[in-house]
Amino acid sequence: MAEATLGQIAARFGLVLQGDPDVRVTAVATLRDATPGTVTFLANPRYRRYLAETQASAVVVDEAGARDCSVAALVSKNPYAAYARVAAWLHPEPGAAPGVHPSAVVDPTARIAASAHVGPQVVIEAGVEVGERAVIGPGSVLGAGACIGADTRLAARVTLYRRVRVGQRCILHAGAVLGADGFGIAQDVDGWVKVPQLGTVVVGDDVEIGANTTVDRGAIEDTVIGDDVKLDNQIQVAHNVRIGAHTAIAGCVGISGSTTIGSRCMIGGGVGIAGHLEIVDNVAVLGMSLVSRSLTKPGIYSASVPAIEAGDWRRVVARLRHLDDMFDRVRALEGHFKESDAENS
């Protein structure tokens, strides 16, 4: 952990300090459990009641929250983002010593920067490039021709198939697999014929990919993940998918092949997206929705049914079964009223 004064934090991150600039902090904490020497934040109004009783040395808040803050306030228009930057500064990632572990298997044609770290039991195949200060975690496998940009970190057991390219300052968490074959099969009279998957995966800069997330290689063209995309754990990205810059996708989302997702989109957990669709920029899809058609206008979309008490749900389902009959009866009534109006006119 690092140590800083509130004055240093305010100056570094462009925050307005209300309080003593010489107070020192060494860590972050929650509003409710904070102790002296820590920084916390308020972003969700439901926790506002803890402002008056927090024991933190300072709270990152907006202007309205600062008025109710019982300790020093670090004022920001976006408290959560400001807190994230402060937390990263106070709790930096542990460094990794440059060099290649003796148990790693490295092809002699691979090019590994002298400042990079290659952990134990790593396998690096022919023609791989590893950039400056990159970290390759234990048990990871880099297939032939793969490329890792500067300052990118691979956790344990990350697998990059052949020719996968990952940009700079990326984070790939444990178990992520990039570049496996897409689900390409053609049906014939006597079974299935495998369609060769000839593309690869191209990942931009500042991308984070969660644990056990899979990104398939393209069938002919590449699967592309844009700059600053954030993928949560256990996401399936199929072949030839393209995801625009600054899009965030929550866990357990499944994206079918050849779908394009625009920039600055937010996809909630458990969403299913059918193939060959287009989702434009600035779209939000709420959790557990099914996207079965292209979304051509920015906005918030939902197709999920919120959970209700089981008895109520059974009654709803029972009524759904009678919708066709009710529709026919309403149409018949409408026809009857139209005939009556015509006779009376």
**Kind plus residue range of the DSSP H or E element containing 111:** strand 111-112
Q: Kindly list the catalytic residues.
A: 239
Distance CA 308, CA 294 (A): 29
Collect all residues with Cβ–Cβ distance below 8 Å to 11 and sequence separation of at least 6. none
How far does the chain reach from its first CA to its final CA, in angstroms?
Answer: 85
Alpha-carbon distance of 302 to 299, in angstroms, equals 10
Residues near 58 by Cβ (< 8 Å), separated by ≥ 6?
6, 9, 19, 23, 25, 39, 40, 71, 72, 73, 74
Exposure of 233 by Cβ count < 10 A (0-12 exposed, 13-18 middle, 19+ buried)? middle
Between strands 260-261 and 278-279, the pairing is parallel
